[in-house]
Amino acid sequence: MFRPKLPTMPLPTGTVTPPAVVEPTTITPGTPAPPPAPTAPAPPSRPVVQLTPGTALALVGGGTAVVLVVGAVLVSMLLAVAVTAASLAICALVIRSLVNAQHRR
């Protein structure tokens, strides 16, 4: 029950052909190509970005949403750390009180 069962490899079910023999080829050096003639560089063409009021509103809305989500995550993490610290402080006080009460008896 607790022993793993290993799968068996299936055997080939047809005629098995040996791999083809690869013969090495010789490399003959070619004639060097003449260097290309220098040409004048074309002026860089940049795509024009048009910012319409709709896209600007979408960008502002998206940025606001990202800021709100990141802020909510950070505040919740800070709250979790604060709650953990407070509970640890209470536990330390209770343990100290129990230890002091045990030493007095």
Which H/E stretch holds residue 61? helix 53-104
Q: How far is CA 86 from CA 73, 75, 77, 80, 97, in A?
A: 20, 16, 14, 10, 17
Mean pLDDT in order along the chain per 10 residues (105 residues): 77 70 76 72 75 90 96 98 98 95 81
| Residue 34 pLDDT | 72
| Residue 49 pLDDT | 77
| Residue 1 pLDDT | 64
List the chain domain ranges. 75-105
- How is residue 56 written in tokens? 């600007």
Q: Can you tell me the distance from the alpha carbon of 33 to that of 31, in angstroms, rounded to the nearest whole number?
A: 6
| Residue 70 pLDDT | 97
Angle at Cα 14 formed by Cα 9 and Cα 20, nearest 5°? Answer: 95
In terms of pTM, does the model score above 0.75? no
Tens digits of per-residue pLDDT, 36-46? Answer: 777 767 667 77
